[in-house]
Amino acid sequence: MSDQQEKMRQGAEKLLQNEEVGYVIGWGTTRFADRTTPIFIDTPAAASDFVWNEYAVNSLAKYLLDDKYPDKKIGVFVRGCESRALNRMLKDKQVKRENLYLIGTPCDGKKAGRCSLCRERNPLLYDVLLWEPVPNVPAEGRFDRVRAIEAMTPDERYGYWGAVYDKCIRCYACRNACPVCSCRECYVDMSRTGFQGKQHSRSDNQIFGVTRAFHVGDRCIECGECERVCPMDLPIMGQTQKILKDINELAGEYECGLDAESENFLGAFDLDDKDEFM
Ligand code: SF4
Ligand code: SF4
């Protein structure tokens, strides 16, 4: 057993013994050797179920949205990606910091494609750090895929995204896993939205894709969870990254979730803005 895994188990056990938290969210085994699953542990004895290995890939932050009014603090293991999600969720007032006990676990990368773009392996906020921070690895090619799509002709681009959304089965896993997609009731689950059909067609799938991209685009922390969970392997981060690339070019360096204070670009406004609707 790894030293880090033992520290996680002991840390969670102590928090539960002292009743500092009601439960702790982490990763547990599955029947597949190369998969883990998020687990919720509420007794000290069960803390030994937590695992920390190269397959602990799921982001845990999203689960905090399911328990906004806990009786006791919620303990959760936090890496760089979870902490960036939490910064965004705190800024969006989706969680309260006083309801959380953040157990920092610097991450040396997991077996997931989403980790290839990771620029922050260490938690940016935590209550306790279980081991020393790890060096960040410069992630190259942040917007490479967007540049490749931009280089296409309009017809090629339409064909590209049309082919992507022809395959979408609208399972909404991308929405469900995204830590910054936080509406309690999503418009796609309403039966009478008027402009979004339930049928699977290219146009309705595309409306979902574009709406999702704009709802989260300027708040996207680039964690890659949406693509990781997509059962059709669709390259949908290309949409949110296009929005982020444009913001970077229009307004200077922009990255989400590095702190809990920064405004999101599309949500910020000034009464002196020139737009006539103001
Ligand atoms: S996870 Fe993939 S298949 Fe499911 S709705 Fe999202 S893009 Fe479509
Ligand atoms: S990468 Fe995907 S899952 Fe992660 S914040 Fe952006 S849209 Fe959401």
Cα 162 to the chain's mean position, in Å? 25
Which range marks the domain in which residue 189 is found?
144-267
Task: Encode pLDDT of 30-76 as tens digits.
Answer: 999 999 999 999 999 999 999 999 999 999 999 999 999 999 999 99
State residue 102's pLDDT score. Answer: 98
**Shared-domain flag, residues 231 and 203:** yes
Cβ–ligand 2 distance for 234 under 6 Å, the answer no
The minimum-distance atom of ligand 1 relative to the CA of 170 is 5
- Among the candidates 129, 154, 188, a domain finishes at 129
Ligand 2 close to Cβ of residue 224 (< 6 A): yes
Decide whether any atom of ligand 1 lies within 6 Å of the 232 Cβ. Answer: yes
CA distance 15 to 7: 12
Domain presence at residue 20: yes
Question: Is residue 91 located within the same domain as residue 182?
Answer: no
Instruction: Say how far apart CA 118 and CA 114 lie, in whole Å.
Output: 7
35 CA from centroid of ligand 2 (Å): 21
Last residue of a domain, one of 129, 162, 177: 129
- Model confidence at 82, pLDDT cuts 50, 70, 90, reads very high
Residue nearest to atom 8 of ligand 2 (CA): 178
* Whether pLDDT at 274 is above 90: no
CA separation for the pair 31, 14 (Å, rounded): 28
Say whether both 124 and 166 belong to one domain: no
Same domain, 149 and 244: yes
Q: Could you say which of 98, 129, 160 is where a domain stops?
A: 129
- Please name which ligand lies nearest the alpha carbon of 58: 2
Q: What is the pLDDT of residue 198?
A: 73
213 lines ligand 1 (CB under 6 A): no
pLDDT exceeds cutoff 90 at 243: yes
- Rounded to the nearest angstrom, the distance between the alpha carbon of 10 and the centre of ligand 2 is 31
Within a domain: residue 135?
no
Q: Residue 162 in 3-state DSSP?
A: helix
**Mean pLDDT to the nearest integer, 119-131:** 96
- Identify whether residues 120 and 153 lie together within a single domain: no
Per-residue pLDDT, averaged over 253-257, amounts to 90
Beta strands in 130-197 (DSSP E): none
pLDDT > 90 in the chain, percent: 75
Any domain includes 214: yes
Give me the pLDDT at residue 277, please: 62
Please tell me the total count of domains within the chain: 2
Q: What is the mean pLDDT of residues 163-190?
A: 92
| 245 CA to centre of ligand 2 in angstroms | 14
Same domain as 239, residue 121: no
Q: How large is the average pLDDT for residues 130-137?
A: 94
- Looking at all shown ligands, the one closest to residue 237's CA atom is 2
Domain identity same for 82 and 174: no
**Per residue in 196-227, pLDDT tens?**
777 788 988 999 999 999 999 899 999 999 99
In this structure, the residue with its CA closest to atom 2 of ligand 2 is 226
**Residue-level pLDDT at 4:** 97
Where is 78: in which H helix or E strand? strand 73-78
Question: Quick check: is 66 in a domain?
Answer: yes
pLDDT at residue number 184:
82
Which ligand lies nearest to the CA atom of residue 165 in the structure? 1
Query: Where is average pLDDT lowest: 3-12, 15-24, 216-225?
Result: 216-225
Same domain, 121 and 151: no
pLDDT at residue 150, as a whole number: 97
When pLDDT is cut at 50, 70 and 90, the band that residue 162 belongs to is very high
**Ligand 2 binding pocket includes 209 (Cβ within 6 Å):** no
User: Is the beta carbon of 171 within 6 A of some atom in ligand 1?
Assistant: yes
Question: Is there an atom of ligand 1 within 6 Å of 172 CB?
Answer: yes
Higher pLDDT residue, 109 or 24? Answer: 24
Q: What was the pLDDT predicted at 57? A: 95
Closest by alpha carbon to 110, among 34, 39, 40?
A: 34
Average per-residue pLDDT for the chain: 92
* Choice from 204, 215, 236 to test ligand 1 binding pocket (greatest atom count within 8 A of CB): 236
Residues 72, 27 share a domain: yes
Contact of 159 with 206, CB cutoff 8 Å: no
- Looking at ligand 1, which residue's alpha carbon is closest to its atom 2? 230
Q: Which pTM does this prediction carry?
A: 0.92
**pLDDT reading at 193 higher than 70:** no
Of 79-88, 133-142, 225-234, the poorest mean pLDDT is in 133-142
DSSP 202: H
Inform me whether the pLDDT recorded for 278 exceeds 60: no
